[in-house]
Structure 1
Amino acid sequence: MVQQGDQWLGSAYVAPEVFALRPDYRALLILADGLIPGPSDEVTEKLLHAAEERAPADHPHVEAWREAFRAFGAKPQRTRPSVDALLRRVPQGLPRVDRLTDAYNAVSVLHALPIGGEDVDRYRGPLRLVRATGDEPFDTIVEGQPAVERPSPGEVVWRDDEGVTCRRWNWRQCVRTRLGPTTTRAVFILDALGPMDGAALAEAGSALVDALRATSPGVRLESRTLQPTA
Structure 2
Amino acid sequence: MRFRHAPELRAAHPGLAAGVVAADGVGLEAVADRRGIDERFAADQHAALERLAVDGPGQQPEIQAWRRAFAAMGLKPTQYRCAAESLLRRLAKAGDLPRIHPLVDLCNAASAAAAIPVAVIDRDRVVGDLEVRYARGDEEYATFVGEIEHPAAGEVIFADDAGRAHARRWTHKQSGWSTVRPSTSRVLIVAEALHDGAGDDVSALVARLAGDIERFWPAAPHRAVLTSQRPELQVDDPATTTRAR
Q: Return the TM-score normalized by structure 1.
A: 0.87
Corresponding residue to 1:35 among 22, 26, 42: 26
Is 1:139 matched up with 2:142? yes
Q: What residue is the counterpart of 2:44 in the other structure?
A: 51
Does the 8 Å CA contact 1:158/1:166 hold for their aligned counterparts?
Answer: yes
Instruction: Determine whether 1:116 maps to 2:119.
Output: yes
Q: Distance in 1 between matches of 2:98 and 2:66?
A: 22
Give the Cα–Cα distance (whole angstroms) in 2 for the partners of residues 48 and 89 of structure 1.
15
CA shift in 2, pair 1:201/1:146, >3 Å: closer
- The 4+ residue runs of structure 1 with deviation greater than 6 A are none
- Relative distance call for 1:169 and 1:131 in structure 2 (3 A) is same
Equivalent-residue separation in structure 1 for 2:229 and 2:63 (angstroms)? 25
1:93-121 Cα distance to aligned partner (Å, 9 max, x none): 11111111101011111111000000111
Unaligned ranges ≥5, structure 2: 231-245
RMSD: 2.0
2:219 maps to what in 1? Answer: 219
CA contact (8 A) 2:210 2:222 kept: no
Q: Residue 179 of structure 1: CA displacement?
A: 0.7
Does the CA contact (< 8 Å) of 1:48 and 1:106 recur in 2? yes
Secondary structure of the equivalent of 1:183?
coil
Q: Does 1:228 align with 2:225?
A: no
The answer (yes or no) to whether the contact 1:113–1:191 under 8 Å persists in 2 is: yes
Alignment identity in percent? 31
CA distance in 1, matches of 2:214, 2:45: 21
Is the 1:30–1:187 Cα contact (8 Å) retained in structure 2?
A: yes
| Residue of structure 2 in register with 1:80 after alignment | 81
TM-score between the two structures when normalised by the length of structure 2: 0.82
Q: Distance in 1 between matches of 2:226 and 2:152?
A: 24
3-state secondary structure, aligned to 2:154: coil
The CA deviation string for residues 19-44 of structure 1, in whole angstroms up to 9 with x for no partner, is 122111121111011213269x5443
Name the amino acid aligned to 1:152: A
Amino acid at match of 2:138: D
Query: Residue 177 of structure 1: SS of its match in structure 2?
Result: coil
The one-letter amino acid of 1:108's match is S
Taking the aligned partners of 2:225 and 2:130, their CA distance within structure 1 comes to 13
Per-residue CA shift, 1:159-178, capped at 9, x if unaligned?
10121001111111112211
Distance of 1:78 and 1:171 partners within structure 2: 10
1:13 matched to which residue of 2? Answer: 4
Name the SS for the 2:147 alignment partner. Answer: strand
